[in-house]
Structure 1
Amino acid sequence: MSLLKVENVVAGYGEAMILNGVNLELEAGEIGVIVGPNGAGKSTTLKAIFGLLRVSSGRVMFDGQEITNRPTDSLSALRMAFVPQEHNVFKTLSVHENLEMGAYVRRDDVSGLLDRVYDIFPPLKDKRRQPAGELSGGQRQMVAVGRALMIDPKLILLDEPTAGLSPRYMSEIFDRILVVNASGVTVAMVEQNAKQALGIAHKGFVLAGGRNRFTDTGAALLADPDVAKSFLGG
């Protein structure tokens, strides 16, 4: 049984439909990457999955139940987490306080989860008392992902996790995503750095005009000359 299944989803803003029948399916333990040109509906797909945008038709299934248009807080309780591209940390709070905020829905001891996050993102441990707003862009992104991990998610949705980062931090974030996935978390990720993202993906979904243009393994999409010519810069 699939952990996440998006079936013929149509969604948009007002009367403007951005998604025109998007399909996506991930098994537990996979990394799925959504790529495509600007305006293709990549980030809109994540927002529709997480209930931040109303689905007009189609459905979203998660862990065996339909979650179409469910409130986002109920999805957190089902162990789905979302990391937006921007405004994803509390800048005046310390790194440690940011992580603790991620566990607001939990009523149990989260010390083990904190240790896990610091193990996945070692640079954060030395900066745990520093305000998140004083960190580099790459370190802030680590805080944002780390905070999402504090609900012990089955699935984490990442919207452009390497946007605006230096090549060094871009590579490090991709490496950390692999570690997150190896810890048992399924990942659905939108990325503009398509080649690097498809390089770590079990499955890739190329969107254009709010529809699936190509769907295959990450390796197969990287090797496809039509994908390379149209979406990967040759």
Structure 2
Amino acid sequence: MSSLLEAKGLYGGYGGADILQGTNLRVEADEIVVIVGPNGAGKSTAMKAVFGLLRIREGEVRYRGETITNAKPEQMVRRGIAYVPQEKNVFPSLTVRENLEMGAYLMKGDLSQRLDKVYTLFPKLAERRRQQAGLMSGGERQMVAMGRALMIDPQLLMLDEPTAGLSPLLIDETFERIQEINAQGIGVLMVEQNAKQALAIANRGYVLATGSNRYEDTGPNLLANPEVAEMFLGG
């Protein structure tokens, strides 16, 4: 049976320079998979390449057994892949509800059931559905961004640094919501600087360095690996 997502031997970058140096990734339908590594390792670049935001010069991306290498982001969304960037991930002048509805712009018909599912997962968004997203805190904006991504009922949710800039309490809450999303049968692939906490909830993890795979293992095994701890997790 095919993996939900599989990327093999990815090479690509910006301005003709390859940041990705043969990167490999795999996500099964029921997994949370985390990409960690030092700054400049190619973590976010790999996510962007998979989602079609960056051209892959060499390598292949397959989704549910179908080749999707260099497909456009809109085509990814139609296939059930949702992506939440680290920055500029909400429409600040729109209300919470309008932001969520924008996430389903490719969908037809009544959105009420989709909205209800998001509000159930993020009750604070229901309370503030009429508030402009730009007036919300960083943690609340992250909820809006994740909620908007969920409006397409994705099979794969891709998150780029979902806890960046958040307080410890909000970091814990964000990881809890990610686990709840995964429990609904949605595969999760995320890049995360809070490596220890992310690996603690991960089924599997990848450690990238200079655009290539340095380690791959279960989350618990990577946390227990002394070389990984010393080189990438702060000892």
TM over 0.5: same fold? Answer: yes
What is the aligned partner in structure 2 of residue 128 from structure 1? Answer: 129
Does the residue aligned with 1:141 lie in a helix, a strand or coil? helix
What is the aligned partner in structure 1 of residue 5 from structure 2? Answer: 4
Q: Is 1:153 matched with 2:158?
A: no
Distance 2:26 2:131 in 1: 39
Does the residue aligned with 2:19 lie in a helix, a strand or coil? strand
User: What 5-or-longer segments of structure 1 have no aligned partner?
Assistant: none
Shift of 1:110: 1.8
Does the residue aligned with 1:34 lie in a helix, a strand or coil? strand
Shift of 1:16: 1.2
Q: Is 1:82 matched with 2:83?
A: yes
Distance 1:120 1:221 in 2: 30
Distance 2:8 2:166 in 1: 33
Q: TM-score, normalised by structure 2?
A: 0.98
Percent identity between the two aligned chains? 60
What is the aligned partner in structure 2 of residue 202 from structure 1? Answer: 203
Shift of 1:14: 1.6
Does the residue aligned with 2:193 lie in a helix, a strand or coil? coil
What is the aligned partner in structure 2 of residue 28 from structure 1? Answer: 29
Shift of 1:118: 0.6
CA deviation string 1:157-207 (max 9, x = no partner): 100000011111111111111111111111000000000000110010000
User: What 5-or-longer segments of structure 2 have no aligned partner?
Assistant: none
Mean Cα deviation higher: 105-114 or 77-86: 105-114
CA RMSD of aligned residues (A): 0.6
Does the residue aligned with 1:197 lie in a helix, a strand or coil? helix
Does the residue aligned with 1:100 lie in a helix, a strand or coil? helix
Distance 2:123 2:219 in 1: 28
Does the residue aligned with 2:12 lie in a helix, a strand or coil? strand
Q: Is 1:67 matched with 2:68?
A: yes
Residue identity matched to 2:184: S
Runs of 4+ in 1 over 4 A off after TM superposition: none
Distance 2:10 2:184 in 1: 30
Distance 1:97 1:73 in 2: 19
Q: How does 1:1-234 map to 2 (within 5 A)?
A: 1-234=2-235
Residue identity matched to 1:64: G
Distance 1:229 1:2 in 2: 31
Does the residue aligned with 2:152 lie in a helix, a strand or coil? coil
Shift of 1:108: 2.5
Shift of 1:46: 0.3
Shift of 1:63: 1.3
Does the residue aligned with 1:69 lie in a helix, a strand or coil? coil
Residue identity matched to 1:42: K
Distance 1:37 1:216 in 2: 17
Does the residue aligned with 1:5 lie in a helix, a strand or coil? strand
Distance 1:14 1:140 in 2: 32
May I ask how many residue pairs the two structures share in their alignment?
234
Mean Cα deviation higher: 118-127 or 41-50: 118-127
Distance 2:129 2:54 in 1: 34
Residue identity matched to 1:147: R
Does the residue aligned with 2:146 lie in a helix, a strand or coil? helix
Shift of 1:122: 1.2
Shift of 1:139: 0.6
Q: TM-score, normalised by structure 1?
A: 0.99
Shift of 1:34: 0.2
Residue identity matched to 2:93: T
CA deviation string 1:101-134 (max 9, x = no partner): 1110001222111111011111111111110111
Residue identity matched to 2:121: I
